[in-house]
Amino acid sequence: MEEIRSRTVVVTGGSAGIGAATVRRLATDGWSVLAGARRLDLLREVCEPVGAAAAGLDVTDEASVAEFVDVADRLGFGKLNLLVNNAGAALGVDSVEGAQEDLWRRMFELNVMGTLHLTRAFLGRLRASGDGHVVNLGSVAGFETYPGGGGYTASKHAVRALTKTLRRELLGEPVRVTEVAPGLVETEFSVVRFDGDRDRADSIYRGMTPLVADDVADCIAWAASRPSHVNIDEIVVRPRDQATATSVHRREEND
């Protein structure tokens, strides 16, 4: 346990959903946790009860990333064991022909460039620990496509390519690289995607049992807790009721 308690982790997008669940899980497991998010008030509500540190972070803004790294150094995260690149979002369900380019740009800035910014910023500190690990939150959308998902699936395919490239580039160095790719997880994800339309968001999970954020946090914690010579390249995790991005078993309400 002492070995685990000495280990440090940075989690992005820690104010809600999978990020918040990961903060709670790793802090409970004894990790020293620094979480970042734009919604600092919500982030503090997640972090304070479990003894994690919280700091403001916009992964799309390089100045914000630099300030966050400075905070990490001041708090003793100069050597880092684990970086969880969780911040990300899906925005809208535009067709390719009808694409709202501002939404596509925002998804690429958040999902792809945000992952790049944090990885680049902390890679030296991960090396310095002698036992570093990058976990990128992908999606089954990085393996599949579906109508109306062009912007999101393109960005998650890019995250997958980035992750696989990083794995090869770090071969022989003391840094592991993992992608965790969930299917349907009931968080605020769909509420954000549908611009606050709660009924439409709820319909995504109607008649089936989706994953919850803790299920994905469990995958992250498991991958990170393997012996340092073991690299879990990828974890694809879906609900039992989901076989592909669009193949979902739904039960009638009276079943």
The Cα 5–Cα 138 span in angstroms is 27
The whole-angstrom distance between residue 161's C-alpha and the CA centroid of its chain comes to 15
Of the CA atoms within 13 Å of residue 109, those in its CB half-sphere come to 12
Query: Which is catalytic among the residues 31, 152, 189, 205?
Result: 152
Q: Is 205 a catalytic residue?
A: no
Write out the catalytic residue numbers. Answer: 152
